[in-house]
Structure 1
Amino acid sequence: MVDYPSRNAVAFATLAGMTGVAGSYMAAGYSREFLVAPIDDLVVRTTPGPIVAWTIENVGEQGHLLHIALSFGIATGLLAGAAIIGLHVARGCERPVIGVGLSGVLAWSLTAMITAEPLLAVGAAGPVTVFTAVGATPLAAPERDPSRRRALVSSVSALAFVGTAIGFRRLTTDDDTVGGEPLDEITDSGNGTTDDVEATLMREAEAKSLDIRGDVPGLVSTFEEFYNVDIAEFDPTLSPDDWSLTITGEVGDGVTVTFDELTDMPTERRFVTLRCVGEGLNGQKLDNAVWTGTPIKPLLEEADPEGECACAMLRAEDGYFVQFPIEALEDGLLAWGMNGRSLPQSHGHPVRVLIPGHWGETNVKWLTEIELLDEEMDGYWEQRGWHGTGPVNTVAKLWSDTVRDSENVEVAGHAYAGTRGIERVEVSVDGGGTWRDAELSEPLPGIDVWRQWRYEFEPDGSHEVVVRAIDGEGTLQPEERTDAFPSGATGWVTKTVHG
């Protein structure tokens, strides 16, 4: 009987698993058909809420790397397991080809079952079969023992295949994300082309931006600048031609609207700011854009809600769901455009919802269903311990300190309070002993928009700079600092600035 050292078997099985994952990537790309994608989805959904909250608070935006790394490890392990079984069968019979074939069948079956893509599963099964075959080849006589050289050559070959898979996908994949077409290719409301309308609003925002020397974003964030947070790594890919929105539940008449029907309805353009509930107090997950879409209220009225509907559950193509009080939806917008172009894939292409004054994660991307309910239910993040769809907290961000030509120190940032608006931003350069009003950018049109602020002072050594905002209702931003979990970070931002 041929001797197969267990250490070599594990090594070859691991190489088979790695190349199998690379083969799946080569076949499917970094999409939801890639073997790792459904595994990542399962990892995200089964991770206990306290662990999610701890990761968001302590790891921040890099936390997604942990679950995607785990998902890659699981995918590699599953395919390596198929190779191990094949090697074991090859060891126990006189015809190793049976074991090699079994490993390929198992790898294909696992991948097809997980991804529901039998044809693309061949991309994973092929490399697993090949590397199992290499591992199943009988070793030469013990006095020559070339197993170490073969393992080295196989390792180099595996790395070369992984590199080839990555290079192939980069060459064959369009760099442009789904979405991003000019809006006048989608719809024209008759009030001038959408390009003209959005461009006018964006020029207004540029004109109202303050002359800030430091690294502070303007009043409209670009696609690249706008923060992006999702529950999983892999975004849905939806075509406008295949998309529809249904309104179900406690309704007199169920409503289904296609993308063409939606874009034919009355159109609005709004400045809307979004802030992430999981960001740190002075974090940079706060952005603003010009959004184009259709008000949601007429569709709700068309559905003819029955009885006293307490709330609505908004559901997305990626399985995400958020519960809102019905009255909160009435000012909402079904948005298909962003800064004069169609929504990018990462921002919810083709349609997302925007609910004024609420935390960013409640503005559901890839929206596909609104279910009207007669009693409240927990949404995705409420099930994980967060406090759901309450209004955003008031905040003044201190994002920049720099020395201007006058040798004065300039501190600057943005302030935001949801639909309450920002009335004033106050700055203290002596740790809160005295306060002065900062210069504010002129308000942009809309009820849910941030403002820039800046303040200059003559330096005299080190200064403990503190900023706080007063919202449009005259309420001072709370001083007490709290963590993001469970209701969003609060407190005054403080920074030591050296003149």
Structure 2
Amino acid sequence: MIEALKRRGISPSDLLFATLAGLTGVAGSYAVAGNTRRFVVAPIDALVVRMTPGEIVAFVIQNVGEEGHLLHIVLSFAIASGLLGATALVGLAAGRRFGRSVAGAAVAGALAWGLAASITTQPVLALGAAVPVAVWTAVGTGPGITADPDPSRRRSLLASAGALAFTGVSLAVGRSTGDADAAAGGTTTRDAEVTTLMQEAEEKSLDISGDVPGLVSSFEEFYNVDIAEFDPDLSPDGWSMTVTGEVGSDVTVTYDDLTDMPTEHRFVTLRCVGEGLNGRKLDTAVWTGTPIAPLLEEVDPEGECGCVMLRAEDDYFVQFPVEALEDGFLAWGMNGRSLPRAHGNPVRVLVPGHWGETNVKWLSEIELLDEETDGYWEQRGWHGTGPVNTVAKLWSDTTLANGRIEVAGHAYAGTRGIERVEVSVDGGDTWRDAELSDPLPGNDVWRQWRYEFDPDGTHDVVVRAIDGEGTLQPENRSESFPSGATGWVEKTIGR
């Protein structure tokens, strides 16, 4: 392998410095762009996600689990580093040919800049990738290297250490550059109604000793799942959405148009279709927005279309029957502040009672259709656009000061609501009602539950919920793929 590379004029030292140049080029791009779509890896990651066959996606989800998304991120980083490293190889060859490190650095820097600018469409920020590539190319063709293509061990170690140090600093700088608004909300002032709702949720939360969230999740607590790693970074001032369809005239809605419409504040719970049976991808917030039905009626006043396709700025799309949106909601606020970027800023959709994946973030288009077509995840084997499955979560077990054991969690059944949660401490032979938090306003909201019992050895604790229609949560267990996890949650507790 090495001999074959040498015959092509590529020495081990060239590979080393090209690799360092590629890595530092990616790091430099991250330093100036942060964790945004202006980062050179982000468009590559989006392309990798789009191009990966559905069969592979389904296999990874089922066999690797939540960590599977790291595979496409690692691949995207490797591709970006390899492309930038290739520009350094060209620069190294040019520098050696002309006997000047400046020439090699200039060639590599120009090529890296052109590559990064074409990938990100950000010519100024592309310098963040180009400059490190040029520097490490210059080091690779510096004095003492031209006569002997293999640099000394000391030169190689110093270059590697420098690259690692530069990468570390770039990661720290990039994190502060681009991540601040991903986890925090905007500056919208919380109005009196939101304040009242938040206080009501706090007052209705049960006094639970274990690690169970309250009835409203904070920005930091709220789970987050997306098809790609890098979120769109949109401004309300520049945002608009098109409502289109098979009949009627298209309607374009700006952010100001939307926020001038009748405003509502709603408690809405979201649950991820891909979570495990007792997973924690289940959260609730107070959302601020406006009903979606009037916009649909404007485009299709006769109600001739039976399906709706929602499209997002990150190329995600979801389709379901139009009646599912009768109580749908276009949200621009969360817990009294503007949506965080990670949760769909400026505008997202909330579809009552449906799995979280249907609640499209970064909404860009609503299209009415006269026939069904598969959405993003349906093309990959999932069936997550239906109503959520009923579930009672067992999230904590705590020994209290009085010696009793407290078990607690949340229960959720979409718009059906929760009527009761039952607990068995003997493996399902006998059942007792758990204490439930008082219901919050709204028809798509979870409830907390807790139950205390006197320990007597080992207990097989089982929990199940009964929804507002009187239907018992199914006992039979199934995995999350393809239609969401089902079954009763069980846990062995003893001392």
Which bracket does the TM-score occupy, shorter chain normalised?
over 0.9
Q: Does 1:118 align with 2:123?
A: yes
Q: 2:180 aligns with which of 172, 175, 179?
A: 175
Task: Name the aligned partner's letter for residue 385 of structure 2.
Answer: T
Cα separation, 1, equivalents of 2:413 and 2:447: 10
Map of 1:406 onto structure 2: 402
What displacement does 1:415 show? 0.6
Cα separation, 2, equivalents of 1:319 and 1:332: 21
Cα separation, 2, equivalents of 1:174 and 1:234: 10
TM-score normalised by structure 2 residue count: 0.93
8 A Cα contact 2:396 2:408, kept in partner:
yes
Cα separation, 2, equivalents of 1:113 and 1:459: 65
The range that moved more, 34-43 or 137-146, is 137-146
Map of 1:333 onto structure 2: 329
Q: 1:66 aligns with which of 56, 62, 71?
A: 71
What displacement does 1:254 show? 1.4
Map of 1:493 onto structure 2: 489
Distance 1:277 1:22, change over 3 A: same
Distance 1:182 1:108, change over 3 A: closer
The range that moved more, 57-66 or 204-213, is 57-66
Map of 2:139 onto structure 1: 134
User: Any idea what the Cα deviations from partners look like across 1:37-92, whole Å, max 9, x if unmatched?
Assistant: 00111111122223323433444433333222221111111111111222234444
Mapping of 1:249-264 within 5 angstroms? Answer: 249-264=245-260
What displacement does 1:208 show? 1.1
Distance 1:447 1:87, change over 3 A: same
Task: Name the aligned partner's letter for residue 152 of structure 2.
Answer: S
8 A Cα contact 1:250 1:306, kept in partner:
no
Task: Name the aligned partner's letter for residue 349 of structure 1.
Answer: N
8 A Cα contact 2:13 2:151, kept in partner:
no
8 A Cα contact 1:427 1:435, kept in partner:
yes
Cα separation, 2, equivalents of 1:143 and 1:265: 72
The range that moved more, 76-85 or 7-16, is 76-85
Map of 1:23 onto structure 2: 28
TM-score normalised by structure 1 residue count: 0.93
8 A Cα contact 2:297 2:303, kept in partner:
no
Cα separation, 2, equivalents of 1:431 and 1:422: 22
Cα separation, 2, equivalents of 1:417 and 1:325: 20
User: Any idea what the Cα deviations from partners look like across 1:408-439, whole Å, max 9, x if unmatched?
Assistant: 11111111010111111111111111111111
Q: 1:212 aligns with which of 208, 222, 238?
A: 208
Distance 1:372 1:144, change over 3 A: closer
Unpaired segments ≥5 residues, structure 1: 185-193
Task: Name the aligned partner's letter for residue 377 of structure 1.
Answer: T
Cα separation, 2, equivalents of 1:141 and 1:338: 60
Map of 2:421 onto structure 1: 425
User: Any idea what the Cα deviations from partners look like across 1:312-370, whole Å, max 9, x if unmatched?
Assistant: 10011111110021111110010111111111111111111100000001100111110
Cα separation, 1, equivalents of 2:73 and 2:179: 23
Q: Does 1:298 align with 2:288?
A: no
Distance 1:84 1:204, change over 3 A: same
Secondary structure at the counterpart of residue 496 of structure 1: strand
8 A Cα contact 2:215 2:447, kept in partner:
yes
What displacement does 1:5 show? 6.9
Q: 2:372 aligns with which of 369, 372, 376?
A: 376
What displacement does 1:93 show? 5.0
Cα separation, 1, equivalents of 2:227 and 2:404: 44
Q: Does 1:80 align with 2:85?
A: yes
Map of 2:464 onto structure 1: 468
Q: Does 1:46 align with 2:29?
A: no
What displacement does 1:140 show? 6.2
Cα separation, 2, equivalents of 1:483 and 1:250: 37
Mapping of 1:149-188 within 5 angstroms? Answer: 149-170=154-175, 175-177=180-182, 180-184=185-189
**CA-based RMSD:** 2.3
Secondary structure at the counterpart of residue 241 of structure 1: helix
Map of 1:245 onto structure 2: 241
Distance 1:97 1:425, change over 3 A: same
Task: Name the aligned partner's letter for residue 483 of structure 1.
Answer: E
The range that moved more, 169-178 or 340-349, is 169-178
Percent identity over the alignment? 72
Q: Does 1:148 align with 2:153?
A: yes
Distance 1:7 1:273, change over 3 A: same
Map of 1:187 onto structure 2: none
